[in-house]
Amino acid sequence: MNDLDLATTWFLSARAMACGGDEPSASEEAAAGLFARAILGLDEDACIEAKSSEHMHAMTLIDCMSLAGSLPRGTADQVMTGVMMIAYAAASMQPLQVRWASMLASAMDMTEERFQRCCVNARVVASMLPHEEELDGA
Amino acid sequence: MPESNFDFLEKYDNRVAHLAAQAEAYVHSDPDSSLFKLRLMVEVMARTLVELNASHLVDADLSTMLRSLQSSGLLTRREADDMHSIRRDGNAAVHGHESSTPTALRRLRDAWRLSRWYARTVKRGAKVDPPPFSPPPPPRESRAQQEARRKAEALEEAAEQRRSRTRAALLLFGDHDDVGAMRWRLRGELRALEGVAVAAGEPVVDADFVALVMAMDLEQILEHPSWGHSSGEAKTKVESQFQAFKVAHEAAEQEYLQTRSEIVREARTQGDG
């Protein structure tokens, strides 16, 4: 899978998770991009292109699940970790968010054990998110 | 023509108007002082807004106040970005990084935009319609100084573009995205998926189920040696990944500050000569 597809999968998954809850907060927004750059290792070009209106408008959540299903296992785990990080960063989860995490996990053919491991990592990442002032200028 | 671009602010907040006018007066002669004043102006604005909305944070530092105002919805992303830019460049000036006039002018323009918004916010319903921003005219400059200024402007433009790309890559939604419409569309798709899942016999997700997922004491389960690594190791790894990103970002900013200092020093030498 190329970087654009991974960035698309990530940002669509993350947007769905953020939108499944209350109004996305500034911290959820910042966490999503930081995760893409620092943990998934995506470059700026891939992140920007994936979020372009033309690209995003052509994609549905079904497309997202299809892309998620083709991710290598390690990358799929990272994406799931990030999706759960958004819930932990907001310290709340709503039914649509639980359903989205569950459907994404199914699309990734994830076992309960793998999912739990992703949740642990998500908690760790959420607790480590730097404050905005640490990224001055961005 | 008004004496200052910030004259209109006088009747809304005299202190803020005074600081802005001082920043404007120093923009060509002493950009460091101009940025100090703008930084202070933002701090006064933030404190006033916090007093109105979250008085328990009134003694917090500026970035905490800005974060709180943003999460309360009082500051939109645009205003928060302008305030953070002024804070960042004001802090750099305070810490001894030599500032250039193009940097101070950009922040002055941001401050003018912020001032209009601020006046409307503190005096709800007030009609605030100042004349368009007019950059303070530059003093007479030698050819060499004009050249140094052009270099500083080009550097500033490149730095703004770099920051803007970094920011665009980091945000979940773009500045031009209609977040409300996107949210509505995605929630519609999520509800449709929910319907399919329930029709297929999946359990209904309700508040109790959600509470259970969030409350699971996962770390205890996963600290077991059979998992291969502990949450402590995961923490160390994440820390290093965030740190690597932060270091790369800071290096770009440091390079910009250094180049700016060199240009300022060069201009000063030519001015002295």
pLDDT digits (tens, 9 = 90+) for B180-209: 899 999 999 999 999 998 888 876 666 666
CA dist B222 and B170 (Å) reads 31
ipTM over 0.85: yes
Q: Which residue has the higher pLDDT, B180 or B124?
A: B180
B78 to chain A, any CB pair closer than 8 A? The answer is: no
Look at residues B160, B146, B156 and name the one whose alpha carbon lies nearest to residue B266: B146
* Substitution target from B63, B170, B184 for chain A, most A beta carbons within 10 A: B170
Torsion, Cα of A34, A39, A40, A45 (10° steps) = 40
pLDDT above 70 as % of chain B = 86
CA dist B65 and B47 (Å) reads 7
Contacts of B234 in chain A (CB under 8 A): 120-121, 124
CA B211 to chain centre: 35
User: For chain B, first and last CA: distance in Å?
Assistant: 35
Torsion, Cα of B61, B66, B72, B73 (10° steps) = 170
B47: CB partners within 8 A, 6+ apart: B58, B65
Instruction: Please name the residues between 20 and 49 in chain B that touch chain A, using a CB distance below 8 Å.
Output: none
Instruction: Please name the residues between 164 and 183 in chain B that touch chain A, using a CB distance below 8 Å.
Output: 165-174, 176-177, 179, 182-183
CA dist B181 and B68 (Å) reads 26
CB-CB: which of A33, A95, A103 is closest to B172?
A33
Contacts of A96 in chain B (CB under 8 A): 187, 190-191, 194, 205
Counting runs of H as helices and runs of E as strands, what totals does chain A give? 8, 0
CA dist B242 and A34 (Å) reads 8
| Range of A29-43, A107-121, B97-111, B145-159 with top mean pLDDT | B97-111
B227 to chain A, any CB pair closer than 8 A? The answer is: yes
pLDDT above 90 as % of chain A = 48
CB-CB: which of A14, A27, A98 is closest to B210?
A98
Residue B139 pLDDT > 90: no
Q: For A89-103, A113-127, B139-153, which range has the lowest pLDDT when averaged over its residues?
A: A113-127
Residue B238 pLDDT > 80: no
pLDDT of A134: 46
pLDDT digits (tens, 9 = 90+) for A30-71: 788 888 988 899 999 999 999 988 888 889 999 999 999 999
Sequence letter at residue B77: R
